[in-house]
Homo-oligomer: A and B are copies of this chain.
Amino acid sequence: MNGNELKNLLRLVRESALGVEEAADLIRESSYKNLGFARIDNQRGQRLGRPEVLFCQGKTAGQVRDIVNYMLTRGTNILATRATREIFQEVSKVCLDAEYNEAAATITVKRINVDVPDGYIAVVTAGTSDIPVAEEAAVTAEFLGNRVERIIDVGVAGIHRLFDTIETIRSARVVIVVAGMEGALPSVVGGLVDKPVIAVPTSVGYGASFGGVAALLAMLNSCSGGVAVVNIDNGFGAGCVASAINRLK
C-alpha cells in the first residue's frame, strides 16, 4: 500500500466513508496471511514486482504443501526452489499442474501470463558441473518473465570457447556468469561486455576451494568494474537481480 493509496484511504476516513477500525483491518489484511508456521507476504508482487518465492530448504514437505495450497487460492504463479522430489510429490497432491525441474530443483505452477520484454538474459557457465546453479537462475528468470540464452562450459582453461560465443553474450541486456573453482570467468566477461554482469560462485571444486569461497572471493575482487556478486550457489538470487534489470523500462 503506497503513499497515494494511503492518502485515498485517509480521505475516505475523513469523509466517514470508511470506519477507523475497518481502515485498520484493510491495511492489515492487504499485507499478509498468517498460517501459524508462516506469514505469506501478499504484498510482495505489488511491492517487488514479483510474487513471494518459496525457499524449501529447512521446511517440511507438509509446510510447503500447505503454503502452495494457500497461494493457489490467491491465483498467483508459484515458484519453489531447493525442492526435493519428495517435496514435489507432496505438492502434487494439492496441485496437479505443478511441474518439477530436476536439474534446477524447482517446482513451478503457471496460472497467469507474465509479459516478456524483448531483451534477454545470458546465463553463462564455466563448466558442466555449474549447470544446476545456472538452471536455478534460468528457471527463476523465466518464471519472472524473461527470455534466457544459455551458454554452457566456456571457462578460462579453454578461453577460445568464450570468444566464439561472445556476440551472444554481448547482445544480452544483462549477463549471469556461473563459475566454481577459481571463479575467473566473470572477470574475463566483465572485461569484454558493456552490460551489467551478475556473478554466481558455485561450490564446485575441492581442497582449498572451501565450498565456493575461493570463487566468491575472486568474484568480489574482480578487476573488471561492472561485476556484482550473489551468494554461493545462489542461482535464485542471480535470476531475481537479472530480472529486475532486464525488465526495467
Contact = CB atoms under 8 A, between A and B. Distances in A.
A224 B194 contact: no
Given A191-B159, A225-B240, A20 B31 contact: no
A34 B31 CA distance: 30
A161 to B, nearest CB: 5
Given A16-B14, A154-B39, A229 B228 contact: yes
A227 interface: yes
Contacts of A226: 48, 237, 240-241, 244
- Prevailing SS type, chain A contact patch: mixed
Given A182-B187, A223-B157, A214 B218 contact: yes
Interface residues of A, number: 111
A194 B47 contact: yes
A139 interface: no
Given A28-B164, A127-B223, A183-B182, A207 B218 contact: no
Given A206-B233, A244-B196, A31 B182 contact: no
Contacts of A16: 14
B182 A63 contact: no
Interface string A214-226: 1111111111111
Contacts of A41: 157-158, 161
9 contacts: A37-B128, A37-B131, A41-B158, A196-B244, A203-B207, A207-B220, A220-B231, A227-B241, A228-B238
3 shortest interchain CB distances as A-B pairs: A58-B129, A207-B232, A184-B184
